[in-house]
Amino acid sequence: MLIVQKFGGSSVANAERVYNVAKRVAETYKKGNDVIVVLSAQGDTTDDLIAKAKEISKNPSKREMDMLLSTGEQQSVALMAMALTELGYPCVSLNAYQVGMMTTSAYGNARLKKIKPDRIRRELDRKNIVLVTGFQGMNRFDDITTLGRGGSDTTAVAIAAALHADQCEIYTDVEGVYTADPRIVKEARKLNEITYNEMLELASLGARVLHNRSVELAKKYNVEMVVRSSLTQAEGTVVKEVCKVERMLISGVAGDDEIARVSLIGIEDTPGKAFDIFATLAKKNINVDIILQSIGRDNTKDISFTVQDTALEEVKAVIEENKERWNLKKADYNENLAKVSVVGAGMVANAGVASKMFEAMYDSHINIHMISTSEIKISVLIDKKEMHKAMNAIHDKFNIID
Q: How far is the CB of 132 from its own copies (least distance, A)?
A: 12
User: Which residues, numbered 24-53, are part of the site for its own copies (CB under 8 A)?
Assistant: 49, 52-53
Question: How far apart are alpha carbons 377 and 145 in whole angstroms?
Answer: 33
Question: How far apart are alpha carbons 64 and 59 in whole angstroms?
Answer: 11
- Closest listed residue to residue 317, CA positions, set 65, 49, 59, 50: 59
Member of 3, 5, 9, 18 binding its own copies (CB under 8 A) = 18
User: Which residues, numbered 129-158, are part of the site for its own copies (CB under 8 A)?
Assistant: 142-144
With contacts defined by CB under 8 A, name the span among 26-34, 82-90, 179-187, 204-212 that binds its own copies.
Answer: 82-90
Question: How far apart are alpha carbons 60 and 41 in whole angstroms?
Answer: 20
Determine, following the binding rule CB under 8 A, whether residue 104 of this chain makes contact with its own copies.
no
Sheet (strand 252-268) strand order? 288-295, 300-308, 252-268, 330-343, 377-383, 370-374
Instruction: Reduce the DSSP state of residue 311 to 3 states and report it.
Output: helix
Strands (E), 139-287: 144-146, 167-172, 193-195, 225-229, 237-240, 252-268
With contacts defined by CB under 8 A, name the span among 28-36, 54-62, 181-189, 336-344 that binds its own copies.
Answer: 54-62
Give first-to-last CA distance, the chain, whole Å: 28
Member of 19, 221, 278, 358 binding its own copies (CB under 8 A) = 19
Question: For 272, phi and psi rounded to 5 degrees?
Answer: 85, -10
Determine, following the binding rule CB under 8 A, whether residue 98 of this chain makes contact with its own copies.
yes
Region of residue 272 (phi > 0: left; psi between -120 and 50: alpha; otherwise: beta): left
Question: For 102, phi and psi rounded to 5 degrees?
Answer: -85, 135
Determine, following the binding rule CB under 8 A, whether residue 71 of this chain makes contact with its own copies.
yes
Number of residues that bind its own copies (CB under 8 A): 38
Determine, following the binding rule CB under 8 A, whether residue 85 of this chain makes contact with its own copies.
yes
Q: Which of 16, 298 has the CB closer to its own copies?
A: 16
Q: Which of 57, 355 has the CB closer to its own copies?
A: 57
Determine, following the binding rule CB under 8 A, whether residue 312 of this chain makes contact with its own copies.
no
Q: Which of 72, 176 has the CB closer to its own copies?
A: 72
Q: How far is the CB of 112 from its own copies (least distance, A)?
A: 19
Determine, following the binding rule CB under 8 A, whether residue 68 of this chain makes contact with its own copies.
yes
Residues 6+ apart with CB under 8 A from 312: 260, 262, 333, 335
Determine, following the binding rule CB under 8 A, whether residue 56 of this chain makes contact with its own copies.
yes
Q: How far is the CB of 51 from its own copies (least distance, A)?
A: 10
Question: How far apart are alpha carbons 378 and 373 in whole angstroms?
Answer: 4
Member of 65, 162, 215, 382 binding its own copies (CB under 8 A) = 65
Number of H-type helices and E-type strands within the chain = 11, 18
Q: How far is the CB of 141 from its own copies (least distance, A)?
A: 9
Determine, following the binding rule CB under 8 A, whether residue 11 of this chain makes contact with its own copies.
no
Member of 20, 44, 63, 121 binding its own copies (CB under 8 A) = 63
CB 215 within 8 A of CB 307: no
Report the interface residues with its own copies, using CB under 8 A.
Answer: 15, 18-19, 49, 52-53, 55-57, 60-61, 63-65, 67-68, 70-72, 74-75, 77-79, 81-83, 85-86, 92-93, 95, 97-98, 119, 142-144
